[in-house]
Structure 1
Amino acid sequence: MAMMGTAPCLLVFLLLPAFLGGLQREDRVLGGSECQKGAHPWLVLLYYFDKHYCSGALLNQNWVLTAAHCSMRHIQVRLGEHNISTSTGYEQFSTVQEAIIHPGFVDGTSGLRSYENDIMLLRLKPPAVYTSYVQPIDLPTLCPLPMGTTCTVMGWGTTSSPEETYPNVPQCLDITTVPLAQCQATYPEKVTENMLCAGGAQEGKDSCQGDSGGPLLCNRKLYGLVSWGDFPCGKLGQPGIYTNVCCYLDWIRTTMEGV
């Protein structure tokens, strides 16, 4: 089994809230339950003009990892957040000093959108301050991830589909990874080895709009980022698609070290 990103990885649908307009389904957690407060201190919220639209994962005091399709001109980052309708005093707020999108990602300016290489690093200003509510998540050390692994996806995305209902607190859902060949048969010519597939075994349980960029945790390590999927969310036999973090370990480390 290959280690630390040596797995073969090749060099596609989004999951954003409706207020951003006409994009493919972005991910939220459908069929989950409220995450335990403080149990996921690496989970961050991304805001655009005071509207939550994506999530991400804190890698260290300076960097957040999220999906490239979450790129916006003015991104606000909230750390240590749980109930977005109230303030606890544990929250931290940063702006994005620099957003670095994977060079292989194709944006929507041409009218086409590819979910290949759907990954982006955000450099925080000011840096995060570690507390019991703000902590980094570990990157994978064992790659590739064995199929059939039970993982947890989380976020503040819609809890209903196709109608959208957004919760004030993050939702967590345990889902199982799906073999790539099975996923490719479900989504012909869209799924590559740079993606992970998970869920689809139970009706009504999935990530969905508003969950984009959020973490897929397997063995308490960051193996995936919510990327895209079918709409409406939660269809039986239709897994969600996640950016395969194992395929980008070298890019992540090189990028962070080079700034």
Structure 2
Amino acid sequence: MYNDYVHIFCIKTLILYIIYYNLDISQAANELLEPRIIGGYECRKYPKINTKFMVVIVYIRQHNCGGSLLNQNWVLTAAHCLDKWPLYVTDAVTRDKHYNDYSKYDLDESCPLHRIRKFYIHSEYEYDKYDVYNDIALARLDSPMPKTKTIQYVKLPSVIKGDVSDICNIGLLMGWGLTNQTKYTIAEKLMCVDLRILPHSDCIKPFDIPKTQICTETSYVKGMCMGDSGGPLMCGDFQCGIASYGNPNCTSGRPAFYTRVDKFLDFIKWTMENNASQIIFLNFLIYLFVIIIYNIE
């Protein structure tokens, strides 16, 4: 009888601990700026374009934002993408078609959903009616996404001296955002668009953006649109920006804005290094409870 009580106590304690751990999440803003690829092309038609690190963040079985895979446990995205819960991540690049409804994915082993266990938003993330600052966050996955033929990890930049436009005139944005804002048409396949990265001086004069942001030229026929938020802006083979915000009218001709990744390398490194031990500690506790449960006589 005593052993039965011990078994029950251990199981209940384990369940409560896991529930508490999963609910201990960082708080995000309750409102979103309009997350805004218009006029792009299917990435897969150009095999030289590496999209294997691209992931989609899913909320209630629907597309929420884009993101990039840093390693098997971590995703880089925009802070404003993580205001909902629960969230999941999936690699949708391997599929011939990207479905906005993920109900079919539950039983589809070719595209498993990885739950976001916890996310870490930059401590100085903030926004007002028209702008957003330090729009960057890291999401830690509940289960790993190891490298495969179709899954790779994104390359981050070194510290860039001066403007990003000095070393990268044209950036590549990828995402599953709206392809037609009027008809509210969401991309069925991963889309890419080439955008000119503007010198910071061209952005700061009319828009007064900080040096931690990049802006790209947006024409009336192509640019970032709703659903592209959190996705990567690539400069050659490395990620230089995170899609952040823009004019609600995707074809307004006004610039779109991105979090400048090289300005947050310390944040990324610190977050990953200081929270890796939590994963190890949790696994150790679970292992310990299992040993106790099965060895009590």
Q: Name the TM-score class by shorter chain.
A: 0.7 to 0.9
CA distance in 2, matches of 1:250, 1:32: 33
Match of 2:11 in 1: none
Q: Aligned match of 1:246 in 262, 266, 287?
A: 262
Q: Flag as ranges the 4+ runs of structure 1 deviating above 6 A.
A: none
**Equivalent residue for 2:234?**
217
Conserved 8 A contact 1:157-1:209: yes
Closer, same or farther: CA 244–207 of 1 in aligned 2, 3 Å: same
Larger CA Rg, structure 1 vs 2: 2
Does 2:172 correspond to 1:156?
no
Code of the residue aligned with 1:33 in structure 2: it is Y
SS at 2:178's partner residue? Answer: coil
C-alpha change, 1:204 and 1:248, in structure 2 (3 Å) is same
**5+ unaligned residues in a row in structure 2: which ranges?**
1-29, 276-297
**TM-score when normalising by structure 1:** 0.82
Q: Could you tell me the percent identity over the aligned residues? A: 32
1:169 shift after superposition: 0.7
More helix by share: 2
> TM-score if structure 2 supplies the norm length?
0.72
Q: Which residue matches 2:116? A: 96
**Residues 114-171 of structure 1, C-alpha deviations (whole Å, 9 max, x = no match):** 5100000000110112111111010002514234521100100001224421021111
| Distance (whole Å) between structure 1 residues aligned to residue 52 and residue 111 of structure 2 | 11
Alignment of 1:187-206 (within 5 A): 187=207, 189=208, 191-200=209-218, 202-206=219-223
Matched pairs, number? 231
Give matches, 1:91-130, under 5 Å.
91-106=111-126, 115-130=132-147
Q: Which has the higher contact order (CA 8 A, sep 6+)?
A: 1
Other-structure match for 1:25: 34
Note the aligned Cα RMSD (angstroms).
2.3
The answer as to whether partners of 2:232 and 2:242 remain within 8 angstroms in 1 is: yes
Question: Which residue among 64, 67, 75 is the counterpart of 1:64?
Answer: 75
Answering whether residue 271 of structure 2 is matched by residue 258 of structure 1, we say no
* 193 and 162 in structure 1: CA distance in 2 versus 1, 3 angstrom threshold: farther
Q: Is the 8 A contact 2:53 2:152 kept in 1?
A: yes
Out of 51, 58, 62, which is 1:47 matched to?
58
Distance 1:165 1:155 in 2: 13
Aligned position for 1:207: 224
